[in-house]
Amino acid sequence: MKKALEGLKVVDLTTALNGPFCTMILADYGADVIKIEPVEGEQCRSWGPLDEKSGESGFYNYVNRNKKGGTLNLKSEKGLEMFYELVKDADVLVENFRGGITKKLKIDYETIKKLNPNIIYASGSGFGQYGPITHRPCYDIVAQAMGGMINLTGFKETNPVKVGPSVADHVAGIYLALGVMIALYNRKVTGLGQQVDVAMFDTIFSLLENALVNYTIGGFIPERNGNVDPSISPFDVYDCKDGFVALGVGNDRLFQKFCVTIGHPELIEDPRYTSNELRCNNYIPDLQNLIRGWCSEYTKSEIETIMDEAGIPCGPVLNVKEAIEHPHIKEREMMVHCQHPTAGDQYFQGCVIKLSETPGEVEAPSPLLGQHNADIFGLSDEEIKKLKAEGVI
pLDDT in tens, 267-311: 999 999 999 999 999 999 999 999 999 999 999 999 999 999 999
Asked if pLDDT for residue 1 goes beyond 90, the answer is no
Q: Report the domain count for the chain.
A: 2
Read off the CATH number of the domain in which 248 is found: 3.30.1540.10
Read off the CATH number of the domain in which 80 is found: 3.40.50.10540
Q: Could you tell me if 61 and 184 lie in one domain?
A: yes
Q: Could you tell me if 302 and 347 lie in one domain?
A: no
Q: Could you tell me if 122 and 35 lie in one domain?
A: yes
Q: Could you tell me if 59 and 124 lie in one domain?
A: yes
106 within a domain of the structure (yes/no): yes
The rounded distance, in Å, linking the Cα atoms of 126 and 134 is 8
Q: Could you tell me if 332 and 269 lie in one domain?
A: no
pLDDT value, residue 28: 98
Beta strands in the chain (DSSP E): 9-12, 32-37, 68-71, 92-95, 120-125, 194-199, 235-240, 243-248, 314-316, 335-340, 344-349
Q: Could you tell me if 304 and 346 lie in one domain?
A: no
**Residues making up the chain, counted from first to last:** 393
The rounded distance, in Å, linking the Cα atoms of 336 and 348 is 6
**Tens digit of each residue's pLDDT (9 = 90 or more) over 356-382:** 999 999 999 999 999 999 999 999 999
Contact of 254 with 260, CB cutoff 8 Å = no
Beta strands in 241-355 (DSSP E): 243-248, 314-316, 335-340, 344-349
In one-letter notation, the amino acid at residue 367 is P
350 within a domain of the structure (yes/no): yes
Q: Could you tell me if 62 and 151 lie in one domain?
A: yes
State the burial class of residue 389 (Cβ atoms within 10 Å of its Cβ: 0-12, 13-18, 19+).
exposed
Output DSSP code: residue 91. S
Q: Could you tell me if 150 and 57 lie in one domain?
A: yes
220 within a domain of the structure (yes/no): no
212 within a domain of the structure (yes/no): no
The rounded distance, in Å, linking the Cα atoms of 274 and 54 is 61
Write the CA distances from 370 to 69, 191, 275, 308, 373, integer angstroms: 5, 34, 62, 51, 5
**Tens digit of each residue's pLDDT (9 = 90 or more) over 249-258:** 999 999 999 9
Q: Could you tell me if 334 and 310 lie in one domain?
A: no
Q: Could you tell me if 294 and 369 lie in one domain?
A: no
Domain limit, last residue, from 263, 285, 318: 318
pTM tops 0.85, yes or no: yes
Q: Could you tell me if 290 and 381 lie in one domain?
A: no
Secondary structure (H, E, C), 247-261: EECCCHHHHHHHHHH
Which whole number is the average pLDDT over 106-131?
98
The rounded distance, in Å, linking the Cα atoms of 390 and 3 is 38
Output DSSP code: residue 57. B
Q: Please provide residue 233's backbone torsions phi and psi, each rounded to the nearest 5 degrees.
A: -150, 140
Domain limit, last residue, from 278, 299, 318: 318
230 within a domain of the structure (yes/no): no
368 within a domain of the structure (yes/no): yes
Output DSSP code: residue 378. T
Domain range enclosing 340? 9-206+328-389
User: If we measure between CA atoms, which residue out of 97, 125, 15 comes closest to residue 63?
Assistant: 15
Q: Please provide residue 248's backbone torsions phi and psi, each rounded to the nearest 5 degrees.
A: -130, 105
First-last CA distance in the chain: 34
pLDDT value, residue 2: 86
* Mean pLDDT of the residues in the chain: 97
Q: Point out the residues that are catalytic.
A: 169
Ordered DSSP codes for 114-135: HH-TT-EEEEEESS-SSSTTTT
**Tens digit of each residue's pLDDT (9 = 90 or more) over 55-94:** 999 999 999 999 999 999 999 999 999 999 999 999 999 9
Contact of 233 with 279, CB cutoff 8 Å = yes
Q: Could you tell me if 19 and 149 lie in one domain?
A: yes
227 within a domain of the structure (yes/no): no
- Could you tell me how far CA 114 lies from the centroid of its own chain? 32
215 within a domain of the structure (yes/no): no
Which whole number is the average pLDDT over 199-216?
95
**Band of the pLDDT at 16, cuts 50, 70, 90?**
very high
Domain limit, last residue, from 262, 286, 318: 318
